[in-house]
Chain A
């Protein structure tokens, strides 16, 4: 493989099998999948929060993703395809991240004892990252499956009905908290893990990154809760008409409005 094998230590390594390259790849894949998921979540959050602008804005974005403005008709299966991709990423990321979990009670106990004794910020954050990651196995799965199978039920009324009348709001509160915590910590960890933005004074950069991380988390939590509240409000108001689809204002009086 390379000439330095024999001389690496003069301890007969030449006869040994080379170390597997997979740990390197898995490490990279874990980070890459995490990064993609985090970026997706940012985008996703902006899209769903369009409800804060208006129902029409949210409707427009939804239909845009269903290819309505491209094909002239809505194709919710496009959303299903995107969701399927996210599921693949999500499952892949979860699978890779499992390597880092405490795998038995002894490890768990050791880590928790260590965390409590050390009282060190990034160590404590790691625990919360694992904790929220674990919660996401279940919380995110439910949501992703719904989106995969019912892509046509995304919209100002449709989503609001799901949140309120279909009792999804408790799950969404937890999901929101878990996603924003997990993603925020994860992005910060990615930066320090790979030495991004380290600059000439790595300690100062890390401090700034940490501040930025909290700022982003707070921003998305505020945005997220405001959005959720908006859907709940619409959901309560729309409960009597549960199941009815939203029709944008400019089409409400038009014949043959989009379903």
Chain B
């Protein structure tokens, strides 16, 4: 496009355009308030260019209803706080553009996690429990290294692979989208299996496959997964969850037949 053409296009954009009137049906419920019962509440709002649900919800809270509860922290898709059901699908509200949705939008809190109120759920509590259960931290080899000496070398490609799995933001969308987790609340979820896979490929971690079997070698772990793969399909970070779960399953089954 030539400079003038672009300019023309944008000046045209600047002219007032008729915006849609959006209707938000939001699940309201405050479990802290004994008088509160779950109900749907509707808010109307005029759409704006480039409006995300972050912008829309803030406008509703600032202008219409200061009691509306929801969580945003980074609002840039990196902290994982704003997972919610948008028209039934778990995803990050901060990076959901209203223009990609119908004018009627239904918002509900992520299921599975403890509800704090309205759209706000306590994913942190569950994630902590999951991490404690799976021992989701690096188990270093040997004694503490002398930090004044050069760091242990690592293959650049392996470092990149580890990072690829470390990109998980623990938003909880995978667990909320998981049919297994919905039926069996002790299931560790894709987030947990991905976590284990991350340490498994990290050469700095001393744990063996037998050790990982101890934490995910049962029906609450990798064998509970029924491969519906909604986790993979809803993951806002596009993590390779399907292949990672398959990878862990192969490794863990190998342990099962080793003896």
Hey, which bits of chain A sit against chain B, CB under 8 A? 1-2, 4-5, 7-9, 13, 18-28, 99-100, 102, 107, 110-111, 114-115, 117-120, 122-123, 125-126, 189, 192-195, 198, 202, 206
Query: Across the interface, which residues of B come within 8 angstroms of A189, CB to CB?
Result: 226-227
Are the CB atoms of B243 and A195 closer together than 8 Å? yes
Most buried by A among B228, B229, B240, B257: B228
The answer to whether B59 has its CB under 8 Å from any CB of chain A is no
CB distance from A49 to the nearest CB of B (A): 30
Query: Across the interface, which residues of B come within 8 angstroms of A125, CB to CB?
Result: 228
Once A1-B210, A23-B218, A24-B223 are accepted as A-B contacts, the answer to whether A122 and B88 lie under 8 Å apart by CB is no
Nearest CB in chain A to that of B181: its residue: A114
Select which of B89, B211, B217, B242 is within 8 A of A8 by beta carbon.
B211
Nearest CB in chain B to that of A13: its residue: B214
Nearest CB in chain B to that of A24: its residue: B256
- Number of chain B residues close to chain A: CB under 8 A: 45
Are the CB atoms of A18 and B249 closer together than 8 Å? no
* Cα–Cα, bound, A206→B183 (Å): 25
Once A2-B208, A118-B177, A123-B230 are accepted as A-B contacts, the answer to whether A24 and B182 lie under 8 Å apart by CB is no
CB distance from B245 to the nearest CB of A (A): 8
* Cα–Cα, bound, A27→B250 (Å): 10
Hey, which bits of chain B sit against chain A, CB under 8 A? 85, 88-90, 111, 135, 139, 177, 179, 182-184, 206-208, 210-211, 213-214, 217-219, 221, 223, 225-230, 233-234, 240, 242-243, 246-247, 249-250, 252-253, 255-257, 259
Nearest CB in chain A to that of B184: its residue: A107
Select which of B85, B89, B217, B228 is within 8 A of A24 by beta carbon.
B217
A-B contact pairs, 7 of them (CB 8 A): A4-B207, A4-B208, A21-B256, A24-B256, A107-B184, A118-B89, A195-B247
* Cα–Cα, bound, A100→B227 (Å): 11
Nearest CB in chain A to that of B141: its residue: A7
Query: Across the interface, which residues of B come within 8 angstroms of A120, CB to CB?
Result: 89, 177, 228, 230, 233-234
* Cα–Cα, bound, A39→B98 (Å): 47
Nearest CB in chain A to that of B135: its residue: A9
CB distance from B112 to the nearest CB of A (A): 9
Are the CB atoms of A8 and B183 closer together than 8 Å? no
Select which of A24, A126, A206 is within 8 A of B213 by beta carbon.
A24
